[in-house]
Amino acid sequence: MAEGRLELSVWRHPKPIGAAGRCIGQTDLPVDPRRAKRLAHRIRQTARREGLPHVVATSPLRRGSDVGRWLRRWGWRHQIDARLIELDFGAWDGRRWSAIAHAEVLAWEAAFLHHAPGGGESLRQLHTRLVDALGAVRAGQLPRLVVGHAGWITLLGCLDGVAQDRLSASAWPAPPRYGQRIRHAD
């Protein structure tokens, strides 16, 4: 990594069990152990091929940390960091989307960056955590390899070219696929 330059590889965690049709932020859903192992194996292959350090960071949620535990079994260092956790949807978290009042969703869409859906955390607050985590990567306190969550990764992608003050619900990019690798450099 060039001095002052941040190069980060983030893989979205495997598909959690029981997430379909639900608002899932910090609800700690399990993943199929085979999928966690499969993603850990892909990360290990990528690190070997690209000469990356054998250190990975995940959030404390099982859908990411299970991948880190597989890597730890294979001799890697695994750091768990709460800054990497998914958006907190407050009272919405874990509920079926169909059970959340449409007016509440519209209120979030109207003030997309600043509204805390379900009374949880706004995208602006998630952005603060994201920037703090990126600073920790630059300082060598967090590794450059991360298993992350869709909201965190999508917001990271927005740092790569979308002006945050113009971010809206209608312009929010599609999340990465489960297990997909995203590279971020700045």
CB contact at 8 A, 168 and 158 = no
CB contact at 8 A, 48 and 183 = no
Q: Which fold has domain 7-185?
A: Rossmann fold (3.40.50)
Task: Report residues of the chain scoring pLDDT below 70.
Answer: 1-4, 160-166
Residue 4: what pLDDT?
56
Residue 2: what pLDDT?
44
Quick: pLDDT tens for 58-75.
999 999 999 999 999 999
CB contact at 8 A, 162 and 168 = no
Residue 166 has phi, psi (to 5 degrees) of -105, 5
- Which residue in this structure is represented by tokens 């859908």? 63
Residue 167: what pLDDT?
77
Q: Kindly state the DSSP code that residue 120 receives in the 8-state scheme.
A: S
Which of 5, 2, 6 lies closest to 145, judged by CA? Answer: 6
CB contact at 8 A, 137 and 131 = no
Residue 12 has phi, psi (to 5 degrees) of -75, 140
Residue 1: what pLDDT?
42
